[in-house]
Every structure is written in C-alpha cells, then in structure tokens.
A and B are shown apart, each in its own frame.
Chain A
Amino acid sequence: MELNEEITGYKIEYSGPSTIASCILKLPARYREVILLKYHHGYSLKEIAKMLEISESNAIKLDQRGKKKLEQLCKEEGLL
C-alpha cells in the first residue's frame, strides 16, 4: 500500500483483503477524515468542525454521508 497525495487529499491504495477498514480507505478524503477523527480518535463533531474549519452542521452532514457511502462500498464488496 502507498499513499498518493492528490488534490482532494490522500488517496490510499490498498491491495489487501476487502474489509470494512479497506472500504474506509476508499472513502473520499474528507469523509475518511471525519470518520477517523470521530470513531477512532474519539473527537466530537463539534471538535471536528473546529479542527477542519467547517460548520458543525457540515461536520454532521459529512459524518452521515460518509457512513452512508461506507455502507454502499461495503455492500458493493459483499461485506454487508
């Protein structure tokens, strides 16, 4: 696996087995950031909004849409 810097952030290419984690790596960078910050690092959406310089409502939307996209990716991979 290697990290490629792209305009939209870091696109992570992962060649391992399909898991929910690998689907997280396929998410658009902004969704991935929010999901990692919230569910792994334990920050609140209010704190994430402050860190990313976005409104709290935007952080909520990114979290919701990120999870929705993740579920979609997991379904495509036959994980759900």
Chain B
Amino acid sequence: MISEELLKEATKEANQIITDSLPADEFCSHEFSKDFQNKMKRVVRKGNHPALYRYSKHVASFFLILLVGVASFLTFNVEARNKLWNWIITADTYGVTYIFKNRTGVEDIDTDYYLSKLPASYQEKERLDDFVVYSNTDGQTICFAYETSSDKGVSWVSLEDVQREIITFNDYEADLYTALNPEDDSAIIWIDPDTNILFYISGCLSTEELIDLANSVAPAK
C-alpha cells in the first residue's frame, strides 16, 4: 500500500523529471501549422461558450466504437480502405484513443450537417461548429457531432458501462454503443468513406431511434 504522503513525494519527483525533460524556451521557437492554429481557435471558442461546452462530455462516447467499427469497415469496403488509413485508433483495457493521422491528399470539408428528422418536440438548442445539441421540452438532449479531417483531434474515452455492437444501416457499417444503465446515453458512430467524416449521435434513445436519426443526417443547404 502506497501512503498518500509517499504519493505526494513521488509525484513531486515525477513532475520534476517531466519538467526537466522539456526543451528550453530558446528551442521552442516554432511556427504552428494552420491546422493547429484553427484547432486552438476552436478551443478558445469553446471556452467562450460554457453552456454548450458542458455537453462535450457526451462526445466522449463518440470514439468508443471505432476499434471494431473501422476494422470491419476496411474488410467490407476495399475502396474505402485507403481513405480510412487516415484514422488511427488505439485501444487498451480502459479506453479507446482516436486520431486523424494523415491529411496528405485529403481535402478539407467545409460543410455543416444537421439531423433532418428529429423526434417529436426536439429542437436545435445550440450549435458550435461541428457539435449540435437538440433538446425537447422535458430537457432531454440529443448530441450530434462530426469530426472532419481538418479537426485532427485526439480524444480518449473510457470503455466502461457500455455494450458495443456492430450494425449496418443505409450501407454503412456502424458501431452501436448501448448504455448498460437505461438512464444513460447510448451512441452510434460511423464513418462516411467518401468524405472521411466521422459522425456521432448520442442520446437516451433506443437503437431504432438512433438509426432513424443517423439516416436523417444531411448537409446544410
């Protein structure tokens, strides 16, 4: 058993080792890429929208299904294979990490998407770039997000309290994550091989409702 005092001493030492390993300021002159700067702008915008930002925790499950989903998809669609090599997914016992790795030859997508067919009484509540929250009169929410090649983000998510299942809808192979607790959100995730976009929908919804919503994703006019 490691005592809290021992942990405090050890973490102080570990932190010092990490700090010492960082390069000196004079070696840090670097012009950040346009991608990175755009990403930072998004982070700042999110910081300026705390009401919406709190929903971002729902996006976590966005990345849950990619492990099995992408592997199956590559087998399923040869043409999609080359494009999907850009998606890098790693997983361990505890969670899944996802990153869009290689933008070479990939065009940026500058299209907004939305859910064209919402369940009764749901309306768009807030939108921040590629993250949209719909809510109904009872305060229940549906989160819709999509990750494009230009986002180039890294995300990590816990693999707890969900059951993963591969499904097919509208010729897409998708991963369905069903919450073990019926009061928690379930999610569906899939990749459009033509655009390299990952789509994510979550909510306290049944499988059929999630699939209906997935089928309703459409580009904004």
Q: What is the total of A-B residue contacts with beta carbons within 8 Å?
A: 84
Q: When each residue 147-159 of chain B gets 1 if its CB lies under 8 Å from chain A and 0 otherwise, what string results?
A: 0000000101010
Shortest B162–chain A CB gap in Å is 12
Bound CA span A36–B12, Å: 8
In the assembled complex, B27 has its CB within 8 A of some CB on chain A: no
In the assembled complex, B220 has its CB within 8 A of some CB on chain A: no
In the assembled complex, B75 has its CB within 8 A of some CB on chain A: no
In the assembled complex, B21 has its CB within 8 A of some CB on chain A: yes
Chain B interface size, under 10 / 10 to 19 / 20 to 34 / 35 or more: 20 to 34
Shortest B18–chain A CB gap in Å is 6
Bound CA span A48–B13, Å: 20
Decide: A7 near B160, CB < 8 A? Known: A19-B13, A53-B56, A80-B2: no
Majority DSSP secondary structure for residues of A touching B: helix
The stretch from B77-85, B92-100, B109-117, B211-219 touching chain A is B92-100
- B156 in contact with A35 (CB, 8 Å): no
Shortest B152–chain A CB gap in Å is 12
Would you mind naming 25 contact pairs between A and B with Cβ atoms under 8 Å apart? A3-B18, A3-B21, A3-B22, A7-B99, A7-B154, A12-B18, A19-B10, A19-B13, A20-B7, A21-B11, A21-B13, A24-B14, A30-B95, A36-B15, A39-B7, A39-B11, A40-B8, A40-B11, A40-B12, A54-B57, A61-B158, A65-B94, A67-B7, A71-B1, A74-B2
Residues of chain A within 8 A of B90, CB atoms compared: 7-8
Shortest B63–chain A CB gap in Å is 11
Bound CA span A19–B14, Å: 10
Residues of chain B within 8 A of A14, CB atoms compared: 17
In the assembled complex, A70 has its CB within 8 A of some CB on chain B: yes
Bound CA span A19–B88, Å: 33
In the assembled complex, B60 has its CB within 8 A of some CB on chain A: yes
- A20 in contact with B15 (CB, 8 Å): no
Residues of chain B within 8 A of A55, CB atoms compared: 57
- B94 in contact with A30 (CB, 8 Å): yes
Bound CA span A24–B2, Å: 12
Residues of chain B within 8 A of A58, CB atoms compared: 158, 160
Which residues of B1-51 are within 8 A (CB) of A? 1-2, 4, 6-15, 17-18, 20-22
User: Can you name the residue of chain B whose Cβ is closest to the Cβ of A23?
Assistant: B10
Residues of chain A within 8 A of B95, CB atoms compared: 30
Which residues of A5-32 are within 8 A (CB) of B? 7-9, 12, 14, 16, 19-25, 28, 30, 32
- A28 in contact with B57 (CB, 8 Å): no
